[in-house]
């Protein structure tokens, strides 16, 4: 296969970027999308040019490192997979492929196609945990979790933090990501003691990071490689208003955490 790539190149966060066109020739349909980029990069290095920079690591769809906005869709044209799981047989010979980085104010470009997603880490640091120190001696089976709840919590927990939801959302909203974590911990019995303070802290941090707001278009859900449901957003909203409006004892939870 021979393809034409239009790739966003940007030296670093401070400089402006632009599209550069490359030819990708002799591409095998069995290659993954990232392997196709590897081939292009090898030829660039041979010419003494700088390779196209993109984030990637596990290449089996679980680490969440790879990104890429391919022909108008995060992680490319197929549903429920990451870019590293996308194969070139999903494209046709001679196709023009436009590759852009995730675009969001909260995800500044680091170089070329790689963006800084540390905003996600800061949201998690604000409250995406259960406060237990190492060394708990409660037997694991002393905490009963109904299977349906465990399964539902697991569905929320499958988020790989890739940011495709933000990339797909027309408002660059991070609510699917944040709500998945809030839901996972909010549903499990272990997460109850901090349920109301957690949701307040995480939402406040999400807002501070400069993500857009949710307008329920559902693009996030459609593009999530792990098929996380928008139901999570409603769960988060529920918990948030419950905490803010009806839980008197938690009203100052968030204020006291220094925000």
Q: Buried b / exposed e across 122-153, counting CB within 10 Å, b at 16+?
A: ebbebbbeeeeeeeeeeeeeeeeeeeeeeebb
| Contact between 195 and another protein per CB under 8 A | no
212-231 binders of another protein (CB under 8 A): 212-219, 222-223, 230-231
Nearer to another protein, 3 or 206 (CB): 206
> Which of 182, 152, 19 lies closest to 96, judged by CA?
19
Binding status of residue 95 toward another protein by CB under 8 A: no
Interface with another protein (CB under 8 A), residue from 125, 193, 227, 246: 125
Task: Write the CB contacts of 250 (distance below 8 Å, at least 6 apart in sequence).
Answer: 196, 197, 200, 243
Q: Determine, following the binding rule CB under 8 A, whether residue 4 of this chain makes contact with another protein.
A: no
When the beta carbons of 94 and 146 are compared against another protein, the nearer one is: 146
Closest separation in Å from C-beta 239 to another protein: 8
CA-atom Rg of the chain in angstroms: 21
Contacting another protein within 159-178 (CB under 8 A): 160-161, 168, 170-173, 175
- Contact between 233 and 218 under an 8 Å Cβ cutoff? The reply is no
Per-residue binding string, another protein, 9-48, x by CB under 8 A, is: --xx------x--------xxxxx-xx--xx--x--xx-x
Give the residue, chosen from 25, 145, 227, 246, that forms a contact with another protein under the rule CB under 8 A.
145
**DSSP category for residue 51:** P
């Amino acid at each position: 296969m021979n393809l034409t790539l239009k790739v966003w190149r940007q030296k670093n966060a401070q400089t402006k970027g632009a599209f550069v066109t490359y030819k990708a020739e002799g591409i095998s349909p069995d290659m993954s999308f990232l392997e196709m980029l590897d081939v292009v990069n090898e030829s660039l290095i041979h010419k003494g040019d700088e390779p196209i920079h993109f984030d990637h690591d596990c290449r089996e769809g679980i680490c969440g490192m790879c990104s890429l906005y391919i022909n108008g869709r995060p992680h490319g044209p197929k549903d429920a997979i990451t870019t590293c799981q996308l194969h070139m047989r999903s494209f046709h010979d001679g196709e023009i492929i436009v590759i852009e980085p995730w675009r969001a104010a909260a995800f500044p470009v680091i170089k070329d196609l790689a963006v800084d997603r540390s905003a996600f880490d800061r949201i998690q640091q604000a409250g995406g945990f259960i406060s237990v120190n190492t060394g708990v001696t409660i037997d694991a089976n002393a905490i009963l979790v109904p299977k349906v709840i465990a399964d539902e919590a697991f569905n929320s927990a499958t988020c790989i933090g890739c940011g495709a939801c933000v990339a797909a959302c027309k408002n660059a909203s991070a609510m699917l990501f944040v709500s998945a974590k809030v839901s996972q911990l909010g549903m499990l019995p272990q997460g109850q003691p901090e349920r109301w303070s957690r949701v307040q802290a995480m939402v406040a941090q999400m807002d501070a990071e400069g993500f857009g707001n949710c307008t329920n278009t559902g693009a996030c859900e459609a593009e999530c490689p792990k098929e996380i449901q928008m139901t999570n957003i409603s769960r988060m909203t529920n918990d948030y208003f419950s905490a803010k409006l009806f839980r008197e004892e938690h009203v100052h939870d968030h204020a006291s955490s220094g925000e």
